[in-house]
Amino acid sequence: MHKSILLAVSLAASLTATTPAHAWGPVGHRITGAIADENLSGLARANVRLLLGSEDLAEAATWPDDMKSDGHVFWQKQASPWHYVTVAGDDYTASDTPPAGDAKTALARFTATLRDPKATPDDRRLALRFIVHIIGDLHQPLHAGTGTDRGGNAVSVTWFGKPTNLHSVLDSALIEQRSLSYSEYAAWLSRSITPAEVIAWNERDPAVWIHESIALRRTIYPTDPALSWDYAYAHRTEIDDQLKRAGVRIAAYLNWVLDAPLPPKGNAKR
């Protein structure tokens, strides 16, 4: 087992199993990572390169989901709650934090690791990949769920006549309907991001991201479970906007966390 994973397992030993849910599919996560790459500061970019080598943020963004195929208890049990939050009200509060932890608490823990001068390169690499992924997750509105329907996974719908669930429609079907590669999609969205939006979205507080996702979550549950063009036209722009915000905010967050050089000795990825 990789050293960084074993260390993370020991840190997460108190966590219990929670039903997993996937946020953006691989295309969506890669879009957010690619947009983030374009908005990194010079210092943050150098620190990312020091840790990841040739692996860019688009590749790093999917890594925590890719690793769910690993049978180790870390991926099958402990890490499951780190992809979402459960919020019944309008805003995330301390009472919403479960004993098993969630995306918000995991983000704080991994941020501390990435900034810790005593952390090993492997632990920082693990932390960086999770940070990129978690920020993307928190911008998928069903990853700020109420806890009543597994983030829309228990809401059965049809998508152009094919049985699926609402979560799947939001995280992948709406995106894949464009028939674009992640790089094409990211370039398309990036061209529409204005300087004013980059400034307005330069928000590093996850409570603000969660609040926005909750507000959007309340608009996306359909009255008719047969979803097709009407639903796509009504919500595609909102999903595109969330992908753009996530990409800009991943960069803003990393620019803040990586605002000082990482210890160079032994950190470079080989």
* Total count of domains within the chain: 1
Q: How many CB atoms lie within 10 A of CB 10?
A: 9
Per-residue pLDDT for 77 more than 60?
yes
Task: Determine, yes or no, domain membership for 73.
Answer: yes
Which of 25-29, 95-99, 200-204 bottoms out in mean pLDDT, i.e. has the lowest?
95-99
pLDDT (average), residues 187-207? 96
Tell me the backbone φ, ψ of residue 56, rounded to 5 degrees. -90, 180
Contact 123, 56 (CB under 8 A): no
Question: What pLDDT was estimated at residue 108?
Answer: 96
Q: Please state, rounded to an integer, the average pLDDT across all residues of the chain.
A: 87
Range of the structural domain that residue 94 is part of: 29-257
Task: Determine, yes or no, domain membership for 17.
Answer: no
User: How far apart are the C-alpha atoms of 239 and 136, rounded to whole Å?
Assistant: 12
Task: Determine, yes or no, domain membership for 41.
Answer: yes
- Pick left, alpha or beta for residue 101 (phi over 0 → left; psi -120 to 50 → alpha; otherwise beta): left
Question: What pLDDT was estimated at residue 118?
Answer: 92
Task: Determine, yes or no, domain membership for 4.
Answer: no
Residue 99, domain CATH: 1.10.575.10
Per-residue pLDDT for 74 more than 70?
yes
Q: What is the pLDDT of residues 89-130, one digit of tens each?
A: 889 988 888 888 899 999 999 999 999 989 999 999 999 999
